[in-house]
A and B are shown apart, each in its own frame.
Chain A
Amino acid sequence: MKTLIVGLGNPILGDDGVGWKVAEEVRRQLPAEAPVDVTCLSLGGLGLMEHLIGYQRVILVDSFVMGANDELGSILILKLSELPNYSAFHTTSSHDTSLQNAIELGRAMGAQLPDEVEVVGIATERIHEFSDTLSSPVADAVPFAARIVLDLLAQVPKHKKEYQMQE
């Protein structure tokens, strides 16, 4: 199975860069012969979809802004289909469509795209200030998130589950 790991985010926007750090850590730990590609992107919607073409399995690693009950650096594992599809309600973006719509579009055009996209999210807070370093709890989550991605790779994709980082 051709698999792609995508670290998403902006590497110079504080904690938003955590996806890149996790992907880089995964790349370091992956055995050289593993049939897995690892990439880092600052894209969404159509641009992101175009990078997923040709893969049977995709795991996205990205930051998410935590809710009131989340802890900074906590890790969430879910499927793209479980995330709200914003563009289903409206063309919320001025330049793009949602990743879900982009994938549907790609499929309609005959592109080979994964049936499901897995998502590993890391709870972040400081994503509104330019910086190339992560907050301490978010940086601490990087090896855990990388471990989760490597564990997911070792499994057949399963339905949603949630992992809360142990203190």
Chain B
Amino acid sequence: MTQRISIDPITRLEGHGKIEIFLDEQGNVANSYFQIPELRGFERFVVGRPIEEMPLITNRICGVCPEAHHMAASKAADMAYQVDPPRTAKLLRELLYMAFYCTDHTTHFYALGGPDFVMGPDAPVAERNILGVIHKVGLEIGSKVIQMRKYGHATVEIIGGRKVHPCASIPGGMTKGITEEQRTEIEAMGRWAIEFAQFSLKLFNDIVLGNKAYVDLILGDVYTHRTYSMGLVDANNKTNFYDGQVRVVDPNGKEFIKYAPKDYAEHIAEHVEPWTYLKFPYLKKVGWKGFTDGEDSGVYTATPLSRLNSSDGMATLLAQEQYERFYATLGGKPIHQRLATHWARLIELLYAAERWVELVTDPEITSPDVHAKSTHIPTEGVGIVEAPRGTLTHHYWTDERGLVTKANLIVGTTNNYAPIQMSTNKAARSLIKGGVVNEGLLNMVEMAFRAYDPCFGCATHSLPGQMPLEVTIWAADGNPLEVLKRP
């Protein structure tokens, strides 16, 4: 009976990721394609709706990072209404966002990225998940992960009015502030988050950096691509997730461009390939030169690693120490080894936790001044935040009544579609030789895209979550040699 459920919404399967690998006559990889399905009609769906509804509607696009859409849409609506929210409203938005970041980065590391390192890339598939990690490292790890998520959700709920899908951020600020009692509660949770982030970094240090084989794997050529790096930075060029300018550095680490969110269309264009629905963003001023590395290729990444590469450091003390250690250990800046993204993610986790405490201890955080009214007629607005998996851009145009006439979204993972395609292709070419494909090799290919924390549900404007994978390996005669399904 259950076989007929080809897509199982209980596990949130919203489409199949698909890798097609084509072999040549020697059984080596000729090419590979990472394909994903498309969900349609989001831009049409929002046309005719009030722009102030966008923070609520767009956080339904995705169950993985609704908070990111909530914030990007709110900021776009601020701009459309030409209103600058009071300082406390900005603090509250960013505070909510830090709690979300801690939850999200924790989940990715322990449920997805971590298992490859804690269990090992060759571990049996049934063990290479969060349960395997707990069995190996100890139950207390699982308790801490659950606790971190609980505190993240609780903080989002207190500030945002709802768990997971917050509703308190509106054009001009927030619908409500927080009380001193709530502030105290949020501060305690934030302080715990700092300890948890430090614990996670220590775990990474002991298990991954303490193992030469893993360090070699991280630094190996298979997982290396020299591309441009993108990230949001503050006025001091320090990484910021909520606000600032988008900075892009070239493959040598030199600043290439820095732009305000409203100017994104001058710098980013999208390339179309016939074999996939999703577009490939690239740097306009460099141009699309295909799926290739280097300064002459407009391909860029927007990930925890690229955010570290594109900034001059972290704005908090402990994260800055880790930032310096990161580059000292891996051999200078920028770092292009994609598996180092897992480490960068944990440094961001620490930054988010520290920033959480910084924001919640700001003397103005409990001020009731959380909303500024606009007297302007909305026209057009762009909002950018750093979603955990990349720079998120929302752009809306409205008529004189404030009804949306057009929308454009570039979501986190979309930025990374070209690098992901390049990484999986390179890994497949490096690892599959003479037609030999086995489970371990396949996982090594998958590790190439897993580092990016891809969320194609969101990238295709769909619900998120499970990304089942089908790998078809085609022999040179055009017949499928092997089909490996991750149902």
Contacts and interface: CB of A to CB of B under 8 A. Distances in A.
B104 interface: yes
B10 A46 contact: no
A69 B130 CA distance: 36
A92 B111 CA distance: 10
Contacts of A66: 4
How big is the A interface, by class?
A: 35 or more
B107 A62 contact: no
B450 to A, nearest CB: 7
B149 A83 contact: no
A65 B7 contact: yes
A86 B153 CA distance: 26
Interface stretch (B93-101, B121-129, B212-220): B121-129
A69 B3 CA distance: 12
A110 B139 CA distance: 10
A45 B465 contact: yes
Contacts of A42: 60, 63, 164-165, 463
Contacts of A104: 131
A91 B454 CA distance: 13
B39 interface: yes
A44 B468 CA distance: 14
Given A83-B11, A130-B42, A131-B41, A92 B139 contact: no
Given A84-B2, A128-B38, A10 B463 contact: yes
Interface residues of B, number: 66
Contacts of B6: 65, 67
Contacts of B64: 95-96
A60 B8 CA distance: 13
Contacts of A8: 9-10
A106 interface: yes
Given A9-B9, A64-B5, A97 B111 contact: yes
A90 B486 contact: yes
Interface in A147-167: 160, 162
B476 interface: no
B125 A90 contact: yes
B463 A16 contact: yes
Contacts of B165: 42
Contact of B10 (A83, A92, A130, A132): A83
Interface string B456-474: 1000011111111100000
Contacts of A9: 9, 463
Nearest to B452: A94
A92 B469 contact: yes
B107 A95 contact: yes
A89 B487 contact: yes
A44 B465 contact: yes
B2 A45 contact: no
Interface in A94-136: 94-99, 101, 104-106, 108-111, 119, 121, 127-132
A99 B10 contact: yes
A114 B432 CA distance: 44
Interface in A1-52: 8-13, 16, 19, 41-47, 50
A119 B8 CA distance: 11
Given A90-B128, A129-B41, A46 B2 contact: no
A67 B321 CA distance: 54
A134 B132 CA distance: 40
B167 to A, nearest CB: 13
A93 to B, nearest CB: 4
A139 interface: no
A96 B139 CA distance: 18
Nearest to A128: B39
B333 interface: no
B8 A84 contact: yes
B134 to A, nearest CB: 6
B468 to A, nearest CB: 5
A105 B463 CA distance: 24
26 contacts: A12-B61, A42-B165, A43-B164, A44-B466, A45-B12, A60-B10, A62-B10, A63-B9, A83-B11, A89-B125, A91-B129, A91-B450, A92-B466, A92-B468, A92-B486, A97-B131, A99-B11, A106-B146, A109-B139, A111-B146, A119-B10, A121-B5, A130-B40, A130-B44, A130-B461, A131-B45
Q: 10 closest Cβ contacts across the A-B interface? A: A67-B4, A44-B12, A130-B45, A65-B7, A93-B466, A130-B41, A42-B63, A129-B41, A10-B463, A62-B9
Given A86-B468, A121-B5, A128-B39, 5 more contacts: A44-B465, A83-B8, A91-B115, A96-B111, A160-B1
